[in-house]
Every structure is written in structure tokens, then in C-alpha cells.
């Protein structure tokens, strides 16, 4: 069972088909598509994006995501936006984190609340940790993600805003199974 199936339970079956397909994997897949990426032009945002490997701004940016489910219930995601790579691992929370999706991103753990809705799945950042230590709520970025479907395409819209710095990146686009 995938992290998304564990967290959403019976609500998982109500998700749009492409979202259900990409979050219900039992074997690795590679996807490809296009994205529109926007980010403010300021040195702090540029540095944060460079360190984190976040996508560079642009229209019709080629994007690929490889999803690798593991036997232990975790998933490894490798994303490439115009060749710029960033990766993370996903797992369903347990204990005090039960019901949350945990994304391990370098030294950070991002804890997301998943909310299924009509025709979509929404993610909202509910907490974060650095090296396993909880960080204060005032320092937490606002990360909102929406996933839906358009025919066979998986559609995404992710918006990241940090306190003090402000908007950091927004990327939206689509993915489909890659050839081969």
C-alpha cells in the first residue's frame, strides 16, 4: 500500500484517475510533461532556489518525474525541470504524525495534510522539521499543492511562499507516462 492509500483510506478511490494512478503505484514509472514556473527576481529567492534545486522560471519547461515505490511503503521521487534535479522520499506518518504525508527533502521533513475534494487532491504544509527537530510555526513556509486530472494527464499546481522572503516559486503543469 502506498503512503497516499494509507493516509486517504477509502477516499483514495474517489480521486481523479491520473492522480489515483500516480499515487497507487506498485512498480516504478517515469513521466514527462511541461510546466510553467514563476519566481520573483530577487537574490534571496534565487539563492534559496539554487540551494534547494528548485525549478528555474520559464514557460513550457520540460519536466520529468520518476516515481519509485519501495517495499517498505516509502516512495522515492526524482524530479527534473529542464535538467535541474531535485528529489525526495515520501512516507505515511505514524505516531504523532499519523494521518500526515512526510516528505523527506534533504535535512528537512515536510509534513503535509492531504485533503481529497471534488476532482482533486490538495496538499497543505502542516509542519516541518530540520534534522528531526520541529521548527517553529512562524518560520514555516506556506506550501499549497493541488493535483487533478485532464484526460490521461496528471495536472499539478504547487505554490511556495516563505515568511519574510515572500513568494519563492510556483510551478504548474502536467505529466503523462513517458514512452518506454
Please report, for the chain, the start and end positions of each structural domain, with discontinuous segments joined by +.
Answer: 3-177
Half-sphere exposure at residue 78, Cβ-oriented, CA atoms within 13 angstroms:
8
pLDDT of 127 above 90: yes
**Topology at the third CATH level for domain 3-177:** Lipocalin (2.40.128)
pLDDT of 156 above 90: yes
As a whole number, the mean pLDDT across the chain is 92
Cell 510555526 sits on residue: 137
Cα separation, 167 vs 163, whole angstroms? 9
Q: What is the pLDDT of residues 33-87, one digit of tens each?
A: 999 999 888 877 777 777 777 778 899 999 999 999 999 999 999 999 888 888 9
pLDDT of 180 above 60: no
pTM (two decimals) = 0.92
Amino acid at each position: 500500500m502506498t503512503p497516499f492509500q494509507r493516509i486517504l483510506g477509502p477516499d483514495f478511490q474517489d480521486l481523479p484517475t491520473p492522480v489515483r494512478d500516480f499515487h497507487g503505484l506498485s512498480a516504478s514509472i517515469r513521466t514527462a510533461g511541461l510546466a510553467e514556473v514563476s519566481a520573483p527576481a530577487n537574490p534571496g529567492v534565487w539563492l534559496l532556489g539554487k540551494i534547494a534545486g528548485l525549478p528555474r522560471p520559464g514557460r513550457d519547461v520540460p519536466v520529468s518525474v520518476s516515481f519509485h515505490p519501495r517495499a517498505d511503503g516509502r516512495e522515492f521521487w526524482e524530479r527534473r525541470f529542464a535538467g535541474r534535479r531535485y528529489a525526495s522520499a515520501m512516507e505515511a506518518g505514524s505516531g504523532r504524525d499519523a494521518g500526515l504525508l512526510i516528505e523527506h527533502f534533504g535535512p528537512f521533513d515536510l509534513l503535509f495534510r492531504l485533503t481529497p475534494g471534488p476532482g482533486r487532491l490538495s496538499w497543505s504544509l502542516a509542519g516541518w522539521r530540520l534534522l528531526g527537530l520541529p521548527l517553529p510555526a512562524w518560520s514555516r513556509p506556506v506550501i499549497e499543492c493541488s493535483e487533478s486530472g485532464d484526460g490521461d494527464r496528471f495536472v499539478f499546481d504547487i505554490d511556495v511562499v516563505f515568511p519574510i522572503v515572500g513568494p519563492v516559486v510556483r510551478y504548474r503543469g502536467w505529466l503523462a507516462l513517458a514512452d518506454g
